[in-house]
Amino acid sequence: MTSLVSLLPLSGGADIPLVSPDTGAGGVFDLLWLVIAFPLLGALILLVVAPMTRGSLQVQMEKKGHLIGTAAALASFLLSLVLFAALIGRGADERQVGQHLFTWFETGSISVGMDLLYDQLAALFLLLITGVGFLIHVYSIGYMEHDPRRRRFFAYLNLFVAAMLTLVLSANFLGLFLGWEGVGLASYLLIGFWQHKPSAAAAAKKAFVMNRVGDIGISLAISLMFATFGTTDFSQVSAMTADADQSTLNVLGLLLLLGACGKSAQVPLQSWLLDAMEGPTPVSALIHAATMVTAGVYLIVRSNFIFDLAPIAQTAVVIVATVTLLWGAIIGCAKDDIKKALAGSTMSQIGYMMLAAGLGPVGYPFAIFHLLTHGFFKANMFLGAGSLMHGMDDEVDMRRYGALSKAMPVTFLTFAMGYLAIIGFPGFSGFWSKDKIIESAMADNLLIGVLALVGAGITGFYMTRLMLMTFFTEKRWNENAHPHESPRVITVPLMVLAALSVLSGALLAGNWIVEWLEPVTGRAVHHEPPLPALVITVLISVVVAIGVAAAWFLVAKRDIPRTAPQDVSFLTTAARADLYGDAINDVVVIGPGAALVGGLTTLDRVGVDGVVEGGSLAVGGISNAMRRLQNGYVRSYALSLLGGALLVVLALLAVNLG
C-alpha cells in the first residue's frame, strides 16, 4: 500500500474548503424542508392513510394513488428548481445555506440536530433526484398500469425519494446515515416488490444483507467521529480534520469507503447489484442506476475534508474504483439479459465516478459531472429496456430480440442517444464527462489512466453488442411476440431523458460545473497529463472505436444463436457467472463464516455444554451415591450427630490442652 501511495501523487497542498452554512438565509430557503416533506407526505398518505380508508375513497386511492405520488415528486422537483434559481441568485461565496429543523436527540455532551445543508453539491443532487425521480414516476404510471399493487409501488417510490433527499440534504453524518438506511429500506422493498417470485425475494434479501456490511463501516465511522471530534456535523468536522491525526482520518476514510462500496456496488460488495435487477424496471432505473447507487460517490465527495487528508483511504478508493470499472465492464460483455448487461455497465460507470472521487479535488467535479450525465443516460437506457420488455412480453434475453428498431422507433432513437452518450461519442454528454475522468487519472497515475482507457474500450464493445443484438441483426423473437411501441406516458420520459443525455454535456461549457462546485470540493492543483489533452481525447475515441468495431465484427457479422453457446472461452464463462462474485463470497466469507459458526456451535455444545453438563452429571452422580446415607432412620442421623460432636470435643481438647 505504501508503495502505491508514493506512486500516486496526491493533491496535497490544496486548501480544503470549510463547510460553514448560512442558517439565516431566509426567503425561499426556509422552504427547504418541504423538498423532503412532499414525497414523505406522499409516502405516508399512500402507505398509512390509504389502507385505513373505506368505501369509495379506498377505491379512489387504489385507482388514483399513483397521481398523489407523482404530484409529490413534481412538487419537490419544482421547489428544487426554485431553490436552485435562488442559489444562483446569491453570491458565489454565499451559496451554502443551512436550516435547523429540530434537535434530533441530545445525550450528555452529544447533541445531534436535524439540520439541512443546501449547497452547490446538494443543489445538483436535488435536481437529479427530483427531476429523474419525477420522470420515472410518470413512466411508472404506464409501466405499472396493470399491477394490482400500483399504489404501494408509488408509496415505496416516494419513500425512496424522501430518503434519498434526506441523504443529500443532511448537514451531519448521522442524518446522512438516516437517509442512507432509508434508501436501503426502499431499495429492499422495491427489489422484492414482486415478492411472489422467489428470485426477487432472494435478491432483495441479498441486497439488504450486503448493504448491512457496508453500513457497519458507516456506523463505525460515525462512532469514531463521535469519539474523535464529538460531533458529526459537516461544518464542525471539516473544521477539525486539519488538526486531526492522519491515521484516524485514514481509518475513517476506509470505513466510509466500506459503506460506499456496499451502497454503490463496488468490489468486493458488488454482487447484489446484478440480482437487484429482479425489481421492476423503473426501480432499476431510478435506484440502481441514477440515484441510490451513486450515494457512495456522493459520500466520498461530501467527505472531501476527510479523504483529502487521508492518502491511504484515497488510494484505496482509486484501487477499488479501477477494479470495479473493469469488473463491471467484463460482466457487461457476457450477459444476455439486457438489464443485467446494463447493471454491469452501471457498476463500471460508478467505478469511473469513484475513480474520479479518489483523485481528490481535481476529480470531484468530474465525479459529480459523470454522475449527473450517467444518471440521465443510464436512466434513459434502463427505461428504454423497460419499454422493450413492455413491448416484448417481459422478455429480457437479448438473444430473443433483434431488429427491433423498426418495431419500436421511439425507444430505439432514445436508446441510441443513451448509447452514444455512454460510449463517449464526441459531442454527447458521456464524451465530456468520461474524457475528463480518464484525463485526470492519466495525469495522476499512468497505470490507472490506461486501465480506465481500456475500460472505455470495453464499454464501447458491450454497449455496441447490446445495441446490435437488440435493435439490429435478424429477428429472433418468441413465436407469439408482437413488438409495439409503448404509450406516450412511457415514451415522453424517454425523450426527455434522451435529450438530457445528449445535452447535459453542456454543464461543462466554460468549465461551469468545476467552478460551481469549487467552493465545496476545493481548488484543484492540476498536474500536467503525460500527453496533451487533445491527444488523450483522440486516443479515447480511437480505443472506443476499436471496441465498437470489435463488437461489429464479433456480433453483427455472425449468427446469434437463440440459446447461449456453452463452448466459450474461460473469460466468457467467468463473466457470465458475474466473475464468480458469488463464488468468491461463498469461499471467502460464507464458507469460513459457516465453518466458524459450526466450530463455535460444536465448541459450545461439546466444550461449554460439556463442562456444564459434565459438572451437573458429576454432582448428580456424587449425590446419587451420597443419598444412600439418607436412609430415613433418625437413629442413624443421630449417630452422625454424635460423631460430629465427638470431633468438636476432640478439637476443643486439642486446642485447650494441646
Partner 1 sequence: MTHYVVLSAILFTIGCVGVLTRRNAIVVFMCVELMLNACNLAFVAFARQHGNLDGQIAAFFVMVVAAAEVVIGLAIIMTIFRTRRSISVDDASLLKY
Partner 2 sequence: MTFWILATVMVVAALGILFARKAVHAALLLAVVMISLAVLYAVLEAPFLFAVQIIVYTGAILMLFLFVMMLIGVDAADSTVETIRGQRGMAIVLGLAFGSVLVIGLSQVTLGTVVGLEEANAGGNVEEIANILFSHYVFAFEATSALLITAALGAMVLAHRERLTPKPGQAEMAAQRMRDYADSGKHLGPLPSPGVYARHNAVDTPALLPDGTAAESSVSRVLAARGTVRSAPALADDIVDVRRQLGDDPTQMPDPSGVSGAPASTEEDVK
Residues that bind partner 2 (CB under 8 A): 631, 633, 635-636, 639, 642-643, 645-646, 649-650, 652-653, 657
CB of 643 to partner 1, least distance (A): 11
Question: What are 110's strand-pairing partners?
Answer: 107
Contact flag: residue 625 with partner 1 (CB under 8 A): no
Q: In angstroms, rounded to a whole number, what is the distance separating the alpha carbons of residues 631 and 622?
A: 16
**Site pattern 582..621 for partner 1 (x: CB under 8 A):** ----------------------------------------
Residue 289 grid coordinates: 442506476
Smallest distance from partner 1 to CB 652, Å = 14
Name which of partner 2, partner 1, none residue 54 binds, using a CB cut-off of 5 to 8 Å depending on partner kind.
none
Q: Residue 583 burial by CB count (10 A; 0-12/13-18/19+): exposed, middle or buried?
A: middle
Report in angstroms how near the CB of residue 642 gets to partner 2 at its nearest.
5
Distances (CA, A) of 273 to 264, 521, 578, 580, 592: 9, 29, 10, 14, 23
Task: State which residue, 619 or 652, has the beta carbon closest to partner 2.
Answer: 652
Distance separating alpha carbons of residues 222 and 217, to the nearest angstrom: 9
Nearest to 321 by CA among 288, 302, 349, 341: 349
Answer yes or no whether residue 632 interacts with partner 1 by CB under 8 A. yes
Instruction: Measure the N-to-C terminal CA separation of the chain; round to a whole number of Å.
Output: 79
Cβ closer to partner 1: 3 or 623? 623
Which residue type sits at 415?
Answer: F
Distances (CA, A) of 27 to 23, 31, 86: 11, 8, 9
Cα–Cα distance between 241 and 249 in angstroms, integer?
8
The single residue among 1, 227, 509, 634 that binds partner 1, judged by CB under 8 A, is 634
Q: What does the alpha-carbon distance between residue 123 and residue 48 come to, in Å, rounded to a whole number?
A: 30
> Rounded to an integer, what distance in angstroms lies between the CA atom of residue 99 and that of residue 33?
8
Which of partner 1, partner 2, none has residue 619 at its interface (CB below 5 to 8 Å by kind)? none
Residue 651 interacts with which of partner 2, partner 1, none, CB < 5 to 8 Å by class: none
User: Contact, 203 vs 211, CB < 8 A?
Assistant: no
Report the nearest approach of partner 2 to the CB of residue 644 (Å): 10
Cβ 620 to partner 1 shortest distance, Å: 13
Query: With CB cut-offs between 5 and 8 Å by kind, which of partner 2, partner 1, none does residue 628 bind?
Result: partner 1
Is residue 656 at the binding interface for partner 1, with CB under 8 A as the rule?
no
| DSSP string of 442-474, one letter each residue | HHH-HHHHHHHHHHHHHHHHHHHHHHHHHHSS-
56 belongs to the binding site for partner 1 (CB under 8 A):
no
Other CB atoms closer than 10 Å to residue 127's CB: what's the count?
A: 17
> Binding of partner 1 at residue 633 (CB under 8 A)?
yes
Site map (CB under 8 A) of partner 1, residues 154-193, x = contact: ----------------------------------------
In this chain, which of 630, 654, 657, 658 binds partner 1, going by CB under 8 A? 630
Coil, helix or strand for 22?
strand
632, interface contact from partner 1, partner 2, none, CB < 5-8 Å by kind? partner 1
Q: 107 vs 656, which CB is nearer to partner 2?
A: 656
**Contacting range for partner 1; rule: CB under 8 A; set: 260-268, 478-486, 612-620, 627-635:** 627-635
**Which partner from the list partner 2, partner 1, none does 594 bind, CB cut-off 5 to 8 Å by kind?**
none
Instruction: Please tell me whether the peptide bond between 39 and the residue prior to it is cis, using omega within 30 degrees of 0.
Output: no
Judge residue 217's burial from the number of C-beta atoms within 10 Å of its C-beta, 0-12 exposed, 13-18 middle, 19 or more buried. buried
Q: Which is nearer to partner 2, 600 or 652 (CB)?
A: 652
**Set of cell numbers at residue 382:** 434502463
Binding test (CB under 8 A) with partner 1, winner from 588, 600, 617, 642 = 642
- Distance CA(7)–CA(447), nearest Å, equals 10
- Give contact residues for partner 1 (rule: CB under 8 A): 627-628, 630-635, 638-639, 642
